[in-house]
């Protein structure tokens, strides 16, 4: 029986303290926090974990420098402390990163004023990063030769942090934590209905893979449905003081644009005075994000979106040839759920451009429902802790929070792993100069589970071989994913457990022997059907840019 089947079996006709609807960052961190403190928890998502907004982020862990513009000092302070906590708890996954902002005529602020803001931001963050600096246009060019400094008045360099791997994999780390603490978790399980019966919620569920319908009971419901929280609350008869409006942000992924040997984020103001970035992703660069109001939680990338971003970046970088749509390897489109007071009216009444990514948590005590509005990846630990406080306020006692539900293994455990990796000469399996050492990658991605991978490679050296061309994934990683990462469809692995779909051109994937072996390892006798589903569905490699327009559907 697969891990997913085992978890569904535990849910069927079961009773839990808390049922969480939605497996994005808010739902995943809530499940990890509650299960880690002794609650019985069930988490379901109608698609894959992190398959909507949480897989479309900028992969940045930051305190919200731009929120200083609206004087949201308490929010910036809170986010900076959250960033600091994540950097401390995840030293191999969350790394400090330089942000280089080139300020031209489209910038609303002169360089000296931006430098004051950067210094204040550094102080609000308790000086936990390297200090900022004010740069002349010439110094900017020396630091990053790819920037076109014609019209640049100067700039600043300051520090924040980013995820070394992809956002969806970071979210799945909390899902794994919840599983290891005893939570019952399943993707592709749809909520069909929820009824309040005898001081419990009777929750109807539909397994979208097998077609089975079943029920479970829960004392409390947590609505972590991201862009869909308002619809769920309406179905459940829950009234709230807040609601959600939508802002669409897109990213374009292209071959690496920066020429400096150092990885850093490049920041610019576009022609409308809004910030956008060039963010490093290994051998690729991520251009974005935009900020466009939308009424549609299923919004996708449009021709106008692509044209706008390409025009903006071509004006600000000194490229050998201008970027065109042919240079786009992949796209992201995320609909951000932004929190506003629930004062009636429609979204057009909201000044969405001034809204931040704050979160709000509301409790309906009479119906025992907790709703998580908004939020962002940086603030995830706060969300987990605040929901736990809300659950206790509803009368469910939890164990003391020892902070064991998040973070990487101890430094001592890490040292043992690296010692074993050196003894077996693991890093000698890779000689390519543009690929990080295997020991670093396996430890960062898998933590304690990486020990079993060392044993598997010792026993069978073929487990240390690349399985899918230049994607730099080992055969042993696929076996681990098959048994421990609840990969249900091929796209789950290609897009979220890994970032292969985001960094490998469609033409380089194809219906290859490597891809077939991936399917065989992940799905066994269902491999052909899963491969056909991948090629025939919206994520097939033969579907070019249209494919990424459908990423929001998970």
Q: Looking at residue 251, which CATH number applies to its domain?
A: 3.30.9.10
pLDDT of 81 strictly over 70: yes
pLDDT reported for residue 469: 75
Q: Identify the band that residue 357 occupies on the pLDDT scale cut at 50, 70 and 90.
A: confident
Q: What average pLDDT does the structure give for the chain?
A: 91
CATH number assigned to the domain comprising residue 8? 3.50.50.60
pLDDT reported for residue 63: 86
**Closest Cα partner for 333 from 429, 252, 220?**
252
**Closest Cα partner for 138 from 166, 110, 107, 102?**
102
- Region at 518 (left for phi over 0; alpha for psi -120 to 50; beta for the rest): alpha
pLDDT of 552 strictly over 60: no
Cα–Cα distance measured from residue 321 to residue 336, given in angstroms and rounded to the nearest whole number: 33
Q: What is the mean pLDDT of residues 315-324?
A: 96
* Cβ-based burial of 28 (10 A; exposed 0-12, middle 13-18, buried ≥19): buried
pLDDT of 244 strictly over 70: yes
More confident residue, 454 or 298: 454
**Closest Cα partner for 33 from 500, 390, 364?**
390
Give the CA count within 13 Å in the CB-facing half-sphere of 498.
Answer: 23
Does residue 250 share a domain with residue 223? no
pLDDT of 550 strictly over 70: no
pLDDT of 540 strictly over 70: no
Does residue 347 share a domain with residue 215? yes
pLDDT reported for residue 35: 98
Q: Identify the band that residue 293 occupies on the pLDDT scale cut at 50, 70 and 90.
A: confident
Specify if 374 maps to a domain. Answer: yes
Q: Alpha helices, DSSP H only, in 424-526?
A: 438-446, 449-459, 475-484, 490-491, 500-503, 506-509, 513-523
Specify if 158 maps to a domain. Answer: yes
Specify if 64 maps to a domain. Answer: no
Question: Which residues neighbour 223 within 8 Å (Cβ) at sequence distance 6 or greater?
Answer: 21, 22, 229, 232, 233, 236, 238, 369, 370, 371, 372
Cα–Cα distance measured from residue 553 to residue 56, given in angstroms and rounded to the nearest whole number: 12
Note whether 245 and 338 are within 8 A (CB): yes
**Helix 475-484, helix 438-446: angle, nearest 10:** 0
pLDDT reported for residue 507: 65
Cα–Cα distance measured from residue 389 to residue 378, given in angstroms and rounded to the nearest whole number: 19
Cα–Cα distance measured from residue 300 to residue 185, given in angstroms and rounded to the nearest whole number: 29
pLDDT of 545 strictly over 50: no
Per-residue pLDDT tens over the stretch 258-275: 988 888 999 999 998 889
Does residue 224 share a domain with residue 330? no
pLDDT reported for residue 551: 34
Copy the structure tokens of residue 95.
């790394």
Rounded to a whole number of angstroms, the CA Rg of the chain reads: 23
Q: Which of 338, 354, 374 is the last residue of a domain?
A: 338
Specify if 405 maps to a domain. Answer: no
Note whether 112 and 119 are within 8 A (CB): no
Per-residue pLDDT tens over the stretch 234-243: 999 999 999 9
Within 10 A of 372 (CB to CB), how many other CB atoms are there?
29
Query: For residue 251, which phi and psi values (nearest 5 degrees)?
Result: -130, 145
pLDDT reported for residue 273: 86
Q: What is the mean pLDDT of residues 326-346?
A: 86
Cα–Cα distance measured from residue 47 to residue 33, given in angstroms and rounded to the nearest whole number: 22
Copy the structure tokens of residue 468.
């899918």
Q: Which of 338, 355, 378 is the last residue of a domain?
A: 338
Does residue 516 share a domain with residue 448? yes
pLDDT reported for residue 36: 98
pLDDT reported for residue 330: 93
Within 10 A of 508 (CB to CB), how many other CB atoms are there?
15
Q: What is the mean pLDDT of residues 460-480?
A: 90
pLDDT reported for residue 70: 82
pLDDT of 346 strictly over 70: no
Copy the structure tokens of residue 402.
């020892």
More confident residue, 478 or 510: 478
**Closest Cα partner for 187 from 20, 2, 23?**
23
Cα–Cα distance measured from residue 222 to residue 236, given in angstroms and rounded to the nearest whole number: 12
Query: For residue 231, which phi and psi values (nearest 5 degrees)?
Result: -65, -40
Query: Which pairing describes strands 15-21 and 213-223: parallel, antiparallel, or unpaired?
Result: parallel
pLDDT of 247 strictly over 60: yes
Q: What is the mean pLDDT of residues 78-82?
A: 95
Q: Identify the band that residue 512 occupies on the pLDDT scale cut at 50, 70 and 90.
A: confident
Does residue 331 share a domain with residue 370? no
pLDDT of 155 strictly over 90: yes
**Closest Cα partner for 179 from 387, 59, 2?**
2
Range of the domain at 306: 72-163+245-338
Does residue 182 share a domain with residue 141? no
Q: What angle do CA 269, 314, 500 make, to 5 degrees?
A: 95
Copy the structure tokens of residue 237.
């008869």
Kindly state the percentage of the chain with pLDDT values over 70: 94
Does residue 423 share a domain with residue 329? no
Does residue 121 share a domain with residue 36? no
Q: Identify the band that residue 553 occupies on the pLDDT scale cut at 50, 70 and 90.
A: very low
Specify if 363 maps to a domain. Answer: yes
Q: Identify the band that residue 541 occupies on the pLDDT scale cut at 50, 70 and 90.
A: very low
pLDDT of 546 strictly over 50: no
Indicate yes or no: pTM above 0.95: no
Specify if 62 maps to a domain. Answer: no
Specify if 7 maps to a domain. Answer: yes
Specify if 386 maps to a domain. Answer: yes
User: At which residue do the structure tokens 């909520």 appear?
Assistant: 191
Question: Which residues neighbour 193 within 8 Å (Cβ) at sequence distance 6 or greater?
Answer: 203, 204, 235
pLDDT reported for residue 543: 40
Question: What DSSP letter does each residue of 431-453 carry, written as one string?
Answer: --TTS--HHHHHHHHHTTHHHHH
Cα–Cα distance measured from residue 113 to residue 109, given in angstroms and rounded to the nearest whole number: 6
What are the beta bridge partners of residue 475?
Answer: none
Number of domains in the chain: 3
Copy the structure tokens of residue 199.
């001081």
User: Which secondary-structure segment (H or E) carries 157?
Assistant: strand 154-163
Does residue 364 share a domain with residue 274? no
Whether omega for the bond prior to residue 151 falls within 30 degrees of 0, making it cis, is no
pLDDT of 549 strictly over 50: no
User: At which residue do the structure tokens 């969350």 appear?
Assistant: 94
Q: Identify the band that residue 302 occupies on the pLDDT scale cut at 50, 70 and 90.
A: very high
Q: What is the mean pLDDT of residues 433-438?
A: 81
Does residue 541 share a domain with residue 446? yes
Whether omega for the bond prior to residue 289 falls within 30 degrees of 0, making it cis, is yes
Does residue 235 share a domain with residue 327? no
Per-residue pLDDT tens over the stretch 169-193: 999 999 999 999 999 999 999 999 9
Does residue 415 share a domain with residue 374? no
Q: What is the mean pLDDT of residues 150-169?
A: 96
Kindly state the percentage of the chain with pLDDT values over 90: 79
pLDDT reported for residue 105: 87
């Amino acid at each position: 029986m697969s891990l997913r089947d085992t978890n569904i079996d535990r849910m069927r006709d079961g009773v839990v303290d808390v049922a969480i609807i939605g497996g994005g960052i808010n739902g995943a961190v809530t499940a990890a926090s509650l299960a880690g403190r002794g609650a019985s928890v069930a988490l379901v998502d109608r698609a894959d974990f992190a398959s909507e907004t949480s897989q479309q982020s900028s992969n940045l862990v930051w305190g919200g420098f731009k929120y200083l513009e609206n004087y949201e000092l308490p929010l910036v302070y809170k986010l900076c402390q959250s960033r600091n906590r994540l950097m401390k708890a995840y030293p191999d996954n969350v790394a400090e990163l330089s942000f280089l902002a080139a300020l031209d005529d489209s910038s609303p602020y002169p360089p000296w004023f931006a430098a004051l803001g950067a210094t204040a931001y550094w102080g609000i963050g308790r000086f936990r990063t390297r200090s900022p600096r004010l740069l002349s246009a010439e110094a900017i060019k020396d630091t990053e030769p790819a920037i076109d400094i014609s019209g640049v008045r100067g700039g600043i360099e300051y520090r924040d942090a980013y995820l070394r791997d992809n956002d969806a994999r970071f979210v799945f780390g909390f899902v794994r934590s919840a599983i290891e603490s005893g939570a019952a978790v399943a993707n592709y399980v749809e909520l069909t209905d929820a009824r309040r019966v005898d001081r419990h919620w009777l929750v109807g569920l539909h397994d979208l893979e097998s077609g089975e319908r079943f029920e479970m009971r829960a004392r409390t419901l947590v609505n972590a449905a991201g862009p869909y929280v308002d619809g769920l609350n309406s179905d459940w008869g829950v009234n709230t003081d807040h609601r959600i409006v939508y802002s669409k942000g897109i990213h374009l992924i292209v071959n690496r644009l920066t020429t400096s040997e150092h990885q850093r984020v490049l920041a610019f103001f576009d022609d409308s005075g809004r910030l956008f970035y060039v963010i490093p992703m290994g051998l690729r660069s991520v251009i974005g994000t935009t900020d466009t109001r939308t009424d549609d939680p299923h919004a996708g990338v449009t021709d106008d979106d692509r044209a706008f971003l390409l025009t903006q970046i071509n004006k600000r970088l000194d490229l050998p040839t201008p970027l065109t749509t042919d240079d786009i390897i992949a796209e992201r489109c995320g609909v951000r759920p932004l929190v506003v007071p629930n004062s009636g009216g429609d979204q057009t009444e909201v000044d969405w451009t001034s809204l931040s990514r704050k979160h709000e948590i509301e409790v309906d005590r009479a119906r025992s429902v907790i709703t998580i509005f908004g939020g962002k990846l940086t603030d995830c630990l706060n969300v987990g802790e605040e929901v736990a406080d809300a659950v206790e306020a509803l009368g469910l006692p939890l164990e003391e929070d020892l902070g064991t539900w998040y973070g990487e293994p101890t430094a001592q455990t890490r040292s043992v792993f690296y010692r074993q990796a050196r003894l077996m000469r693991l890093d000698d399996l890779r000689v390519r100069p543009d690929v990080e050492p295997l020991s670093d990658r396996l430890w960062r991605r898998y933590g304690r589970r990486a020990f079993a991978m060392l044993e598997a490679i010792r026993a069978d050296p073929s487990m240390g071989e690349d399985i899918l061309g230049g994607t730099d994934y080992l055969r042993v990683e696929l076996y681990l994913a098959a048994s421990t990462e609840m990969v249900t469809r091929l796209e789950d692995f290609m897009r979220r457990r890994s970032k292969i779909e985001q960094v490998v051109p469609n033409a380089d994937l194809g219906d290859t022997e490597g891809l077939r072996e991936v399917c065989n390892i992940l799905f066994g006798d269902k491999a052909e059907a899963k491969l056909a589903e991948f090629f025939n569905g919206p994520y097939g490699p033969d579907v070019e840019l249209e494919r990424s327009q459908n990423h929001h559907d998970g």
